Each structure stands twice: as structure tokens, then as C-alpha cells.
Amino acid sequence: MSGERRDGRIVIVGASLAGLRAAETLREEGFGGTLTLVGDEPRPPYDRPPLSKQVLLGRVRAQDVGLPGRRDVDARWRLGVAAVGLDPIGKQVLLADGERLPFDRLLIATGTRARPWPNPEEAALDGVMTLRTADDAARLAERLDAGPRRVLVIGAGFTGSEIASACRERGFEVTVAERGPSPLVGALGGALGALAATVQRAHGVDLRCGVTVTSLRGRDGRLIGAEFSDGSRIEADIAVVALGAVRNTEWLADAGLAAGPRGVACDAGCRAFNMYGIVTDDVFVAGDVARFPHPLFEYQILALEHWGNAVAQAEVAAHNMVSPGPCRRPHLTVPAFWSSQFGLNIKSVGVPTFSDQVVVAQGSLRERRLVAVYGYRGRVTAAVGVNRAKWLGYYQGLIETAAPFPPRPGAADPPASGVPVPSDVPSPQTLSHGPTVALTGHVPDRRLTLVRHD
């Protein structure tokens, strides 16, 4: 193996899960050069899943969710300073404090941030918050400790629903406003969305679907309530804006990469494309900010906001950064995510939104214990377990082998009806929350204009 790939300078922009795991993998695979990690947050890498669960329940403090390291990474950490630009010719990352970091190879793992409330004046009201970072979680947990009279959650995706769940578990009144027809519908489709709506209402959530929040009302700079598109109003002292995520790609605006609001496009080996669709060989991408073609899903370009994807993709990217061409690996991991809310353990494998039909393969919606299997044009593309995660390995096998849909009956705990129904995956435009898997297609983010210089 060529020695040159094992040394030199590697810069990783983004010091969260993907950045840390990539750094560890680089060292694991024998990278002996200099390694720099850049992160805009001042904290060392931490784990985000507990922020909307254990932290809000008061079981874990927001500062105690640091990610355990797998090994020493022997890196220079530039924390608390954002990357603001990339010079692809001079091969330098420009930091907010003016420092220029030269690199031989670069990994982009800048992830996403919470989509803010669109009205800046309302967003600035005391009591209006988002939840993405540990600081966000600490602030929200502190507000909850003070005992709010009512919490408004705007957007019923996974984050919004988990926040609502934690609030109900602590006994607070909660209103959830969702523009789509039900919670979680953007990720799981109509049938499980309807189940989520039933469960939320059974847990005492004031769930309002098909409405938008038209204004957040304040007095003396403090939030006092909200108005909805159906003309109704509520009083609330906290509003959590859970409208999905925005990809952190602005710093790449002039880098000439295929980077935009939907992420940074890369090939199956995590190498970034430039704006002409030509693959680079020194710029790699991993984690929430990446969008990549997946062969199991007809080479659709996927953007996944999943914990497991961040880890798996970072490992592949790191491996490929220090390996010559023939030794490189594709990132083919079957997407998977989980959530816990309202006493339910929800786990998904595959891409439920890449579907036209869904069938309950085991268990029952009424019992809140089931495996739903999703199909697209007669092939199994996803499975979601509700309190049934342990069976998903089998269904992952069906996804990997593009097995026929619907799966043949014969599984334990058979459903009352094994008839597939439309999966009712809505267009992202109708949702309050962004989908956690975006099927972003082959369409470039910017149209190119051919300029002739005569």
C-alpha cells in the first residue's frame, strides 16, 4: 500500500459523531500524519439522541452526554470556531477567527442545525426555543424544571414527538401542531402516522394536525401564546420549534462543490462531487450533511439524518481517505434509526419513504406491537418495528435481497389482515417537520449556465 496516503495533513470539519468516528478510524487504519478537527461548538463531541429523551426527563444532565472515544486520535482540536470557507485550489479551510488550515485531504462532516422559526421577532421571544445542541437541551430542561403551564411543540417529526413525550411524562400540558395529517407521517407514512396520532392523544397530548402556527404572541418580550391557521389560539409559556434541520453547507458556497440546501453530494465511496458532477479525490463527506447514491434504492441520492449512518459513513470515508483506489469500499449500509416516545420503541430499517405500499407483517396496530413492511413496485424496501425491534434483522435481509413484496405469510404473531395498503408517504412540502430521509434525486441544486469566452 502506498505510504503517501498514510501521512500528510487531514482536516475534518465537524466535530460531532461522524467527525469523531472518522478521526478514530483514520488512526485505526494507520494514518500517521497530522489530524485537525474543527467544530463550531466549544464542547468535545457528544451524543445527541439523549438530548430529546433522558435530558428532558431530568435523568441525565445535558453536559453529561459526551461521546466515549474508541481510541486516542492524537489530533489538534479547533473547537468553538466555525469553518467559514474552503479554498479548493489552495487546499485550505478558512476559519472564523482568520486561521487558514492547509490540508491534503478534507472530510466535510458539518451536519445540520435546527431550522429556526421563520419570523425573527417571534423567534427572539423568551420561551421560543429549538432543540439540536447540548446547550439547547440544557436551556429547555431548565425551563421544564421551572414547571411550564403549557408547552407548544411546532412540528411532529421524531424530535417534536419525543419532546412532547418527555413533557407528558413529566406531567406538563402539551400542544403539538403539525401541518401534515399526523405525527411521524413524513418518515413512516400514513398507517403508522395514524397510530402515532392515536398514541399521542391517548397520552393526553393536545394534537392538532393539518394546521400551521400563524403567529407566536409575546408580551414584554416573553412568549404568552400562539395562533393557528384554523383561527384557534392557545396560551403557552414555551414553544419548541421542531421544524426539521438545515444542512450546514453555507460555508461551502464558493468552494465549487455540489453543495447546497440538500447537502453535499458524493459518490458511494464518500468522495464529494464538484459543481460539474465530477468526483473530487481529496474532499470526502460523511454524516447528516452528505447525500449519496444507494444501490438498494435504485441509486436514489439519499440524505439520512441517522445516528447509525453517521458512524458507518464516517468509517467508510476515513477508510477511503487512506486507501488507494482498488482498496476503497462503498457505503452500502442499510439505513436504520430508532426512537422512543410515549412508551413505544420504534425502529426502522431501510427507507420507509421509498415505498408505495405497506403491510402489517406481524402483530397489530391496536396492540401497539407490530412490524410494518414497506414495498416499492413489488420489492421490500423497509420495515418498521413498534415494540418489536428484535425481528428487524430478518426484514433487513429481505431488503438487502430485494425480496418480493408483500412478504409471504407464516411469521409468528400473524396480523389479523395481511392486506397491503397505500403507504401514504406525503410530499415533504406538506409537512411541518422535515423528513429524516430525503430522497433528493439526481437533480442538481444549481443550474449551470454555459459561458463562452470568445
Interacting stretch for other proteins, rule CB under 8 A, among 40-48, 257-265, 323-331, 405-413?
405-413
Strand partners, 129: 240
**Least CB distance to other proteins at residue 46 (A):** 22
- Site for other proteins contains 61 (CB under 8 A): no
What are the angstrom distances between the C-alpha of 41 and each of 13, 110, 133?
Answer: 12, 11, 9
Q: Which is nearer to other proteins, 111 or 385 (CB)?
A: 385
Stretch that binds other proteins, among 125-133, 167-175, 205-213, 364-372 (CB under 8 A): 364-372
**Smaller CB distance to other proteins: residue 173 or 413?**
413
Site map (CB under 8 A) of other proteins, residues 264-303, x = contact: ----------------------------------------
Q: How far is the CB of 125 from other proteins (least distance, A)?
A: 37
Residue among 219 and 408 whose Cβ is closer to other proteins: 408
Note whether 165 binds other proteins by CB under 8 A.
no
- When asked if residue 30 is in the footprint of other proteins (CB under 8 A), the reply is no
What's the gap between Cα 310 and its chain centre? Answer: 9
Which helix (H) or strand (E) segment is 260 a member of? strand 259-260
For other proteins, which residue of 77, 172, 338, 394 counts as binding (CB under 8 A)? 394
User: Helices 158-169 & 134-145, crossing angle to 10 degrees?
Assistant: 30
Q: Interface residues for other proteins in 372-391 (CB under 8 A)?
A: 388, 390-391
Regarding 452 and contact with other proteins (CB under 8 A), the answer is no
CA distance 320 to 105: 11
249: closest CA among 284, 287, 289?
289
Dihedral, 371, 377, 381, 387 alpha carbons, nearest 10: -10
Neighbours of 147 (CB within 10 A): 10
Give the C-alpha distances (Å, rounded to integers) separating 296 from 268, 293, 300, 358.
12, 9, 9, 18
**Taking contact as CB under 8 A, which single stretch among the options 99-107, 210-218, 287-295, 360-368 is the one that binds other proteins?**
360-368
The answer to whether 450 contacts other proteins (rule: CB under 8 A) is: no
Q: Does 413 bind other proteins (CB under 8 A)?
A: yes
Q: Where are the alpha helices (DSSP H) in 146-252?
A: 158-169, 185-188, 190-202
**Which sign does the torsion angle of CA 126, 127, 132, 138 carry?**
positive
Interaction between residue 362 and other proteins (CB under 8 A): yes
Considering the complex, state which of residue 408 and residue 452 has its C-beta at the smaller distance from other proteins: 408
- Report which residue type is found at 83: A
Q: What is the DSSP string of 362-425?
A: EEETTTTEEEEEEEETTEEEEEEEES-GGGHHHHHHHHHTT-BSSPPS--SS--S----EE--P
Of 223 and 392, which has the nearer Cβ to other proteins? 392
Return the closest-CA partner of residue 47 out of 24, 63, 35: 63
**Count residues contacting other proteins (CB under 8 A)?**
19
Note whether 94 binds other proteins by CB under 8 A: no
- The yes or no reply on residue 412 touching other proteins (CB under 8 A) is yes
Should residue 409 be labelled a site residue for other proteins when binding is judged by CB under 8 A? yes
Positive/negative CA dihedral, 295, 298, 301, 306: negative
With CB under 8 A as the contact rule, the residue among 411, 418, 428, 445 that binds other proteins is 411
The stretch near other proteins (CB under 8 A) out of 117-125, 220-228, 358-366, 427-435 is 358-366
Does 219 engage in binding with other proteins (CB under 8 A)? no
CA distance 205 to 202: 7
| Residues near other proteins, by CB under 8 A | 343, 361-363, 367, 369, 371, 388, 390-391, 393-394, 397, 408-413
